[in-house]
Amino acid sequence: MHRLLLSLLALSACSLHAQPTVTAWPEFSCSDDAVVITFVELSICTSSATYNKVAVLAGSTPTIVFEHGDKRFDALSYESADKALSGLPARLELANGRQALDALFSWRDSSINQQALLQVFGIDAETQLRQFTKGDVAAYMRVNEGAADNTVFIIIGDSGSVYRLIGNFNKAHVQQWLSLLKVN
């Protein structure tokens, strides 16, 4: 009986590594002296207390880079879900990016193919996964300690486009980021 219980606990611990915690989106917080940038459907609150430089990059993938001193910068881009998710919706034969992200962030007893896709997205047993929601807006956070390419995918409804935030941030930084974003 003890072996069965230990086996079930071990199996449960292994299958939880790709399960995000679903959390409410933090309230929008923007001081009176801040500047609000409109980026497609998002309002982004920026201030010199948070960022020392903000640069807009033109091109096929619109991107805004937010510098935090000499040590860190974050890049927020807006791109098709297919491009941002490396073709995952088509691979999984799903209708849109939100369904693909829901699938990716909820795999439990992963098959070999699912494990390979998790690795493509940098998700392993130590990866922190979290999903933030507010109405029809969802943010999917993937954070690996100390990684320079931690990612948050933000999708509004069943949109064919995704906002992708990449940087060397942690879970607290993500919550701060989300409190500075508001859907127009």
CATH of the domain at 115: 3.40.1000
Q: How many domains does the chain have?
A: 1
Structural domain span for residue 74: 2-183
Q: pTM, whole model, 2 decimals?
A: 0.85
Q: Of 8-12, 125-129, 154-158, 159-163, which gets the smallest average pLDDT? A: 8-12
Q: Of 2-6, 101-105, 176-180, which gets the smallest average pLDDT? A: 2-6
Element (H, E) at 167: strand 161-167
List of residues 6+ apart from 51 with CB closer than 8 A: 66, 67, 68
Give the model's pLDDT for residue 69: 79
Cβ atoms of 148 and 168 closer than 8 Å: yes
Other C-beta atoms closer than 10 Å to the C-beta of 168 total 16
Of the chain, the end-to-end C-alpha distance in Å amounts to: 56
